[in-house]
Structure 1
Amino acid sequence: GPAIVPIVSSAILFDLGLITHEVRPGSEEGLAACEAASTGPLDEGSVGAGTGATVAKARGINAAVKCGIGSASLRLPGGAVVAAVVAVNAYGGVYDYKTGRLMAGPRRADQGGFEDPMAILLEVNGSDEAPPMTNTTIGLVATDAVLSKEEVNHLAGLSHDGLALTIRPCHTMRDGDTMFALATGRGPQTSDLTALGAATVEVTARAVLRAAEAATGLGGVPSISELAHG
């Protein structure tokens, strides 16, 4: 066409119900975030987009577990780097995708530990106290590989496999899960798209686990690290 139309993508977390909706970031905070941007390590846990993030809400917010924002990256043998950052505010629980262990589920009020969020939904008399559409996991996958727009879109779709590996149930009618992808084109000129796809799934899954591991409690909702030492 005669002109280039920029694509400006955005997504938000529905987390204003934690503590108070009166405090929220505005344009000044957005500008400060841009000015503070760097190539250094990313802060993880209950910061930034992960501040109000919680998971495991099949029994409502009173049984939820604090989560946050996490990141991960890896370098493929051909030299391409693939990285992900994910803010996890999911309805479902968080599972270790390598062992199947439930890391964060609805908290048991009486005996400690977690309930299985999948079992809650599949029980005949299972209860669901979470209001609809108050959950969202959002994230970004980035690579320095040289890719076309269609190939980048393919990676964005594959990143949802990383969410499904670590969040159960995932992509529910109570979630608004959204993943973005980008390629800087500053790395290898040729890359195996299958390997990039596998790496995309892997770093997304790792980032979800980091979001849970690095979180600290907020607003009366404890994190897994605090529950482990409680």
Structure 2
Amino acid sequence: MLQHPGHIARVQGISVGHHTDSRRPTGCSVVLCPQGAVGGVDVRGAAPGTRETDLLAPSNLVQQVHGITLAGGSAWGLDAASGTVRWLEAQGAGLDIGVGRIPLVPAAVLFDVMLGDMTIRPDAAAGYAACQAATRERPAEGSVGAGAGAVVGKIFGFARAMKGGIGTASFTVDGVTVGALVACNALGDVYHPTTGELLAGARTADGAALLCARDALLRGDSPQTILAGSNTTIGVVATDAQITKPQAQRLATVAHDGLARAINPVHTMSDGDTLFALGTGQSGRTLGLMTLFTLAAEAVAVATARAILLAGAVEVPGQARLPCWSDGLRPAR
């Protein structure tokens, strides 16, 4: 287990909340910054599901956003962001337009509708509930919120996959904190970012061991035909350093290095991998960009691994049981 990695809510100006649907494995998570934060985004996967990402371009007008929503439910889950907007408006947060305020809440979704009744997915009420639950305490991790229905290692078929989840981590240097929240629903396998140990992913045909998809592909094994967009790792990296909007964009870009350390393969044609960046500036301090970017990539890598280490197995009536890391599967010899 990765010990004492901190969490994203240690970033000043950030709170985090989850809503997990009890009817099937799905949910949403929110990262709130009601006082505003400069934002950036980098979409690396070829099959993304997103909302309000264009406003984050460094050359565009809006300079600050007020929250990020991560959700299951595929494209339907984007509706959860409407609930986040409504909750923030009730708190008086948002862009001042004279006659009121418009909370700006970019969002990204992952595909989890293969588990149970696909007509049950996060909506505006779920987004609102996640905001109501938001605190600055350590967020729950594993099979909760946007990670409730996450599944990893589907290259050789859904029935040979394993349970994914959501995880968080943070690091602090010279009074500046960088944290990440990552919901991992990757097509690929997930590795320990420090030891290189294979944690979860595609299993052997009998389901009893980890296959190691990379090795299988290198020796010429054929992957199963994969539904486009049925995978995705989404997340937020946040800092309380004082940064500019272009720097936030670069922070999101470099943070994907953390995904590449923990997931293989990553950024595929069937993944919609998307990372948002937030800079609250509330530490009142700056930090060299080399250090800042290093912390961001490390926080993302650790958060991704924790999403797997803390996930729980899932059993859906009429479907194969999907095991988790704690079931103790090891790579096949």
Whether TM exceeds 0.5 here: the answer is: yes
Q: Match for residue 144 of structure 2?
A: 47
| Distance in 2, Cα, partners of 1:134 & 1:75 | 35
Matched, 1:133 2:247: no
Residue 225 (1) aligns with residue 326 (2):
yes
Q: How far apart are 1:101 and its partner, in Å?
A: 1.4
CA distance in 2, matches of 1:111, 1:37: 38
Quick one: which amino acid aligns to residue 48 of structure 1? G
Q: In structure 2, what is the Cα distance between the partners aligned to 1:170 and 1:36?
A: 32
Q: Report the Cα offset of residue 100 of structure 1.
A: 1.6
- Contact between 2:160 and 2:207, CA under 8 Å: does it hold in 1? no
Q: Pick which of 215-224 and 119-128 moved more.
A: 119-128
- State the SS of the aligned residue for 2:107: coil
Cα deviation digits, residues 63-105 of structure 1 (max 9, x gap): 00101000001111x1100000000000000011222211112
Task: State which drifts further: 158-167 or 97-106.
Answer: 97-106
CA distance in 2, matches of 1:191, 1:40: 25
Residue 111 of structure 1: how far off its partner (Å): 7.2
**Equivalent residue number for residue 172 of structure 2:** 75
Pick aligned residue for 1:95 from 158, 169, 191? 191
In structure 2, relative to structure 1, the CA distance for the partners of 1:27 and 1:196 (3 Å cut) is: same
In the alignment, is residue 20 of structure 1 matched against residue 117 of structure 2?
yes
8 Å CA contact 1:61, 1:130 repeated in 2: no
Give the 3 Å change call, closer, same or farther, for CA 127–29 of structure 1 in structure 2.
Answer: closer
State whether residues 176 and 239 of structure 2, in contact with CA within 8 Å, keep that contact through their aligned partners in structure 1: yes
- Cα distance 1:62–1:153, how it changes in 2: closer, same or farther (>3 A)? same
Q: Deviations over 1:18-38 (max 9, x none)?
A: 122022122212111111111
Q: Please say if residues 162 and 200 of structure 2, whose CA atoms lie closer than 8 Å, have aligned partners that are also in contact.
A: yes
Which residue in the other structure is 2:248 paired with?
152
Q: 1:19 and 1:193, CA in 2 relative to 1: closer, same or farther beyond 3 A?
A: same
Q: List per-residue Cα deviations over 1:30-53 (Å, max 9, x = no partner).
A: 111111111011010111000110
Please name the residue that 1:11 is paired with. 108
Higher deviation after alignment, 193-202 or 127-136: 127-136
Question: Counterpart of 1:73 in 2: which secondary structure?
Answer: strand
Q: Secondary structure of 2:307's partner? A: helix
Q: Distance in 2 between matches of 1:68 and 1:4?
A: 32
Aligned to 1:180: 276
Task: Show the counterpart of 2:205.
Answer: 109
| RMSD across aligned positions (CA) | 1.8
Q: Secondary structure at the match of 2:278?
A: strand
1:116 aligned partner, one-letter code: C
How many Å apart are 1:129 and its aligned residue?
A: 4.2
TM-score normalised to structure 2 length: 0.65
**Structure 2: any 5+ residue segments left out of the alignment?**
1-60, 64-94, 96-103
Inter-CA distance 63–201: structure 2 relative to 1 (3 Å threshold):
same
Change (3 A) 1:191 1:111: closer
Other structure's SS at 2:291 match: helix
| Whole-angstrom CA distance in 1 between matches of 2:299 and 2:268 | 22
Q: Residue 163 of structure 2 corresponds to which residue in structure 1?
A: 66
Identity, in percent, stands at: 42
Amino acid of the structure 1 residue aligned with 2:149: G
- The 1:59/1:80 distance shift into structure 2, 3 A limit, reads same
Structure 1: state its 5+ residue gaps: none
Structure 2 residue aligned with 1:210: 306
Shift of the alpha carbon at 1:189? 2.5
Q: 2-side partners of 1:182 and 1:188: how far apart?
A: 15
Q: What is the deviation of 1:109?
A: 3.4
User: What are the superposed Cα offsets for residues 135-162 of structure 1, whole Å, 9 maximum, x if unpaired?
Assistant: 0100000000000001111110011000
The Cα of 1:128 is off from its aligned counterpart by: 2.4
Residues 167 and 125 of structure 1: is their aligned pair in 2 closer, same or farther, counting only changes over 3 Å? closer
Q: Which has the higher strand share?
A: 2
